[in-house]
Structure 1
């Protein structure tokens, strides 16, 4: 309402509706008359130019006809007399006659004396000599308006022969005199029309400005007194009457809303008072909750902290204040964490292990848990928890030391087992010297089986990992040793296609025994009638399953193989070890001759346990 009052106080400085209506009417009347006058002047200007050309051309042709004898006889005096007949024509300002060679021949200028020189015969400040020459060469009827003059050319012919050219210069002074006269009349009519329009506007504006003025006065009173019960009087049944009705309706609605706002204001005051009491109670509860939180945080043995966006610590509990030797004043200023945390603060919620620095410069290992502090969608800092893991590190070191001792002990056990198996192998070698030939082969196979187990233990105590065997390397070393079981088989070639393969010791031992039995049977039976042959070893792993394939180009499987395999000790051992490692074995005849044995089994003991549970 204050803004409206100021606007109403400034209203007299503005143009009123009454003045605007008068001004609009005067502008409409004046604009209409000006447009009409401009149209009249344009029509008059164009018509006069056209009439001047139409009257001057016949005059020039008459002069040309009368000048034919003078041009033919080269009589300058007669030609000048003919041109002098134009003295009574007020529109002609110059008349010139050129001969057949386009040279000045005669001239007449009412306001100049005639001169025989070529320069005097040409008109000044109208057309240049070059423009005149170009027009004369065209030998046609031409005219040009330049400034306040008309330049008109007409050739003179006699029996088709050009005798010369008539050049007339006519003035437009009559046109401008008529335009000045009409302009004065138009000005007088414009003044009379505007006077009539002003009087008419004074009469018409009363029916418009008076209701508007009354509406403005009512609005002024309402704005100054804030009395919305005032109403304006409806003086007409037109748009202004509708405006008055709308204004009165608006005042009525404002009055109702003002009454409603007063009631709402009283209700809001009571509500604010009640809400203030509730907020005070909530504030007391928040203060008590904060004190409880601070007390509980201070009871934590681990430091907790909060940082701002500059990675400065602005809060920590009692454990943190003791660890970093800080007080409330230091926290208000913010304590940089980079020197204490030996680098920037981690921004991940997963634990981050760091070496922290205490107030006296001592370092200790700790796990740091952090979470971003987000307000209004922006990260404004971090909150975190520090766990001192010095004791855990000490225990871990003790566990690692114990593990190292156990590894040494386990290596010693594998070494002693290997030595004991070596002793057994040596005893068997001594016994072989006294054994007759019938039993010698069986004892030799038994010795190789013991050596196979001994090699696995040797690999274990020499390996960095006591639980895994590089089985591909083990097979490459094992296969050549088995060729010496039969001294007569010296020309057998072993082909390897072995991928890098690591097996648990619990799988590697039975698998080594399987390969030993298969190679032994191959050397013993596949090449029984010859000394030359080829053995193929293949090993690969896919998706946790190992494929071990052994083939030869020997005589192949006998027809009663299925019956005999149940009676043979070697095949029973192979079947037993295959079941032990959860594998499947297949015997097939090779396409080019010979036998191929394929075994599939899990690569790790964990896969084997899952297979058995399933």
Structure 2
């Protein structure tokens, strides 16, 4: 194969042509030979078959007449044909009848004939069996054997002719290929010479000559085009070389300038680093900088003093290579987090030296280059040991204060529980007596006095507990839909009469009607506004009081209460919100000093801040802004009007179980329920309550919590475990008023909670809500519906402070306070007036009381 690669193109072309021609001639000779042999053999076979038919026809008579001699003579005639080797006649039974063999061989040289005729064999000789028939009947068989010497002679002659033609054809092919290969090789050789010339002279302007339009012409064109491209590239390279040399010279000059600038920059950088080092050395925190591999770049004097190391000792080193593991476990923390996240971190780290631990607040942040890539980090570590110690002391003080506050709250709650328990019996029996229509006026007055006094005591306990809840942060919002316009109208009605009595103008600027229904804690909002309006009227002698409600964006409402009173001294603006603290004017007019403190706390609970602005002698404005969104769906505001219950409606039967360890409490509730037609059962403790429940299956259970043997909590759990949560309605009646305890009762599975001392209406509401009972109501007597105001009260005069307190209590519908002030009125000259006003209290006719008080004159 290497020889073929190394010979010339001309010899390759001649060789290829000769080889192709030789193969073609050889295939032609072989094909013609095979065709001639087959044709000759087929011709011989047909001739032998014809000869067999002729001989068979002449031998038919011999076979029929059993004349072997004539048959042999007939077969002897085949001697004239040089091809015939042997011939024979067979009878119909296959017996040899007559034969002839060119070599005079006997019968053993002849084969047995087949039953029928067979095709001639095609070996080196031809054997043929042919049947002899007369009138369609087979009478014998003729056998002829021929050799193939004629075929061999023909093949020899054909071989001589074919060899001669083959040789002559190769000679002609060689001659023609030697002459014609130049049409292909000469252009290629010319192109090769051109390439050699270009290679030697390095002259790419030389071009190959083109004398044809075939593939070789296309090759010449492409070669010349390539030379053109090379020539153009050489020109461009030469130009680029010249330009590059110019740029190199220019760049060399620039580099010289850059080196000068860099030297200046490095000098400036060294000066900047020195200045930075000087600044860091005088900085209070411990400062260090590291690269991305956390190797130190620089540290300040505080770092050197802390670890007793020099800047040169740590520069280029990692923390692991310098410091022991116990230092690394407490210092140099979260550095990898800064490098990974690119965010600053703040952490507290610890250094223990000479068995003294110091705490450092470390701020670590990434250092970025001009491309905002992180190249390192910086740590600023400030010693906060003293601050941590101080914080610890503060925490201990806070824990102690919280413990003290918890103890105070617990004490107040326990005291409230201990006071409410006996009050439950006192007020319970009083309410039972109050419902007795047979009492005479003196007896009813005594009962009212008991209820009034108990109510005053309960109000005092509630106020103290409320301020305690506010201070402890346990007072919670109870949002519900309400009508803001109705609330403002009610407030206007409450304070209108009192403001008119003092000659003050009372103005309310409320929101449009379509914005009236809002969601919020109406009770707390109302209490705040009542406190602010009461103070405004109390400290304003002339002018006006304005209540403004402005709707802002995002359902925000701003409330302003402005008066033209005496104002508040600047130094007192903050102290007026402290519990039991009053300003100068407040001390003169009296009061507990809790109103503004509770108002401010409640405003904070509503999500705002109570602000005050005051000008002494001119005006005072209290304002706050709270969010009152609309309710999630349309609602109907219920009617608050209550009627006096007489008994259960006819046809209803209720069985109630009262569980309480205090006999008086059980008796009060039993007598009260029995008075309205409820069947009652009693239990002294939780065990008995569970037993009574199993035996009698009551409709509703009133359960006290603090009981011996088994407390109310355990009893409720046992009942629910045995009967399920909805088999009986369970109402907890307790003197515990702490929010977390009430929440715990609800989680137990009880259905309602009533606080001791309970009001009759609370029990009615619970029965109605849980059992859907209906009541018959007491209709007021005709003479109590509207009591005429006698003209002779116009001449009455009572102390102005008492008169104002009576009006304020009537405006706020504060029955307890109103009764308290009437008791004080009875001790003086106003006994008749007090008795008359009490008739209005029974019918809750506050407007009638206010009309009577308008006639009474104040006195100093």
Instruction: Give the TM interval when normalised to the shorter protein.
Output: 0.5 to 0.7
Q: Using the alignment, how far apart are the partners of 1:74 and 1:355 within structure 2?
A: 143
Identify which of 420, 425, 429 aligns with 1:425: 420
Q: Using the alignment, how far apart are the partners of 1:165 and 1:230 within structure 2?
A: 92
Please name the residue that 1:486 is paired with: 669
Please name the residue that 2:238 is paired with: 262
Q: Deviations over 1:344-400 (max 9, x none)?
A: 9666567789999999999999989799x9xxxxxxx99766676984994776665
Identify which of 119, 125, 147 aligns with 1:142: 119
The 5 A counterparts of 1:146-225 are 148-150=124-126, 152-166=128-142, 168=144, 170-172=146-148, 174-175=150-151, 177-225=153-201
Identify which of 25, 49, 58 aligns with 1:33: 25
Give the superposition deviation at 1:220: 0.3
Residues 237/444 of structure 1: CA separation in 2 closer, same or farther (3 Å cut): same
Contact 1:341 1:356 (8 Å CA) reproduced: no
Residues 79/441 of structure 1: CA separation in 2 closer, same or farther (3 Å cut): farther
Q: Deviations over 1:498-539 (max 9, x none)?
A: 9xxxxx979x99xx9x97599956654458xxxxx5744xxx
Residues 109/449 of structure 1: CA separation in 2 closer, same or farther (3 Å cut): farther
Bigger mean CA offset, 13-22 vs 234-243: 234-243
Contact 1:155 1:166 (8 Å CA) reproduced: yes
Contact 1:460 1:466 (8 Å CA) reproduced: yes
Give the superposition deviation at 1:448: 8.1
* TM-score, normalisation: structure 2: 0.43
Q: Using the alignment, how far apart are the partners of 1:244 and 1:217 within structure 2?
A: 13
Residues 230/164 of structure 1: CA separation in 2 closer, same or farther (3 Å cut): same
Contact 1:370 1:382 (8 Å CA) reproduced: no
Identify which of 301, 309, 315 aligns with 2:295: 315
Q: Using the alignment, how far apart are the partners of 2:50 and 2:448 within structure 1?
A: 159
The 5 A counterparts of 1:530-545 are 533=767, 535-536=769-770
Q: Deviations over 1:136-184 (max 9, x none)?
A: 46x3543454x54555443444454444555555555544553443343
Please name the residue that 1:48 is paired with: 40
Bigger mean CA offset, 359-368 vs 390-399: 359-368
Contact 2:132 2:141 (8 Å CA) reproduced: yes
Residues 230/400 of structure 1: CA separation in 2 closer, same or farther (3 Å cut): same
* Structure 2 residues without counterparts, runs of 5 or longer: 369-373, 431-445, 479-657, 674-679, 681-697, 702-725, 732-737, 747-751, 781-809, 817-860
Q: Deviations over 1:188-225 (max 9, x none)?
A: 22322232233233333445544433332121021123
Secondary structure of the corresponding residue to residue 154 of structure 1: strand
Q: Deviations over 1:415-463 (max 9, x none)?
A: 13313433543674696599655566777788888999999999999xx
Give the superposition deviation at 1:230: 3.5
Bigger mean CA offset, 318-327 vs 412-421: 318-327
Contact 2:427 2:451 (8 Å CA) reproduced: no
Backbone CA RMSD of aligned residues: 6.5
The size of the alignment, in residue pairs, is: 492
Q: Using the alignment, how far apart are the partners of 2:67 and 2:321 within structure 1?
A: 121
Give the superposition deviation at 1:341: 6.7
* Structure 1 residues without counterparts, runs of 5 or longer: 1-9, 124-131, 308-312, 374-380, 472-478, 499-503, 528-532, 537-550, 561-565, 573-614
Q: Using the alignment, how far apart are the partners of 2:145 and 2:316 within structure 1?
A: 107
Contact 2:296 2:315 (8 Å CA) reproduced: no
Q: Using the alignment, how far apart are the partners of 1:294 and 1:46 within structure 2?
A: 111
The 5 A counterparts of 1:323-342 are none
Q: Using the alignment, how far apart are the partners of 2:454 and 2:75 within structure 1?
A: 158
Contact 1:66 1:82 (8 Å CA) reproduced: yes
Identify which of 1, 8, 11 aligns with 1:16: 8
Residues 243/524 of structure 1: CA separation in 2 closer, same or farther (3 Å cut): closer
Residues 434/290 of structure 1: CA separation in 2 closer, same or farther (3 Å cut): same
* TM-score, normalisation: structure 1: 0.56
Identify which of 388, 406, 409 aligns with 2:404: 409
Secondary structure of the corresponding residue to residue 317 of structure 1: strand
Secondary structure of the corresponding residue to residue 204 of structure 2: coil
Residues 203/14 of structure 1: CA separation in 2 closer, same or farther (3 Å cut): same
Secondary structure of the corresponding residue to residue 408 of structure 1: helix
Q: Using the alignment, how far apart are the partners of 2:76 and 2:128 within structure 1?
A: 17
Give the superposition deviation at 1:263: 1.6
Identify which of 44, 52, 57 aligns with 2:49: 57
Q: Deviations over 1:27-70 (max 9, x none)?
A: 45445434433442343233234323322332344455456567
Residues 67/259 of structure 1: CA separation in 2 closer, same or farther (3 Å cut): same
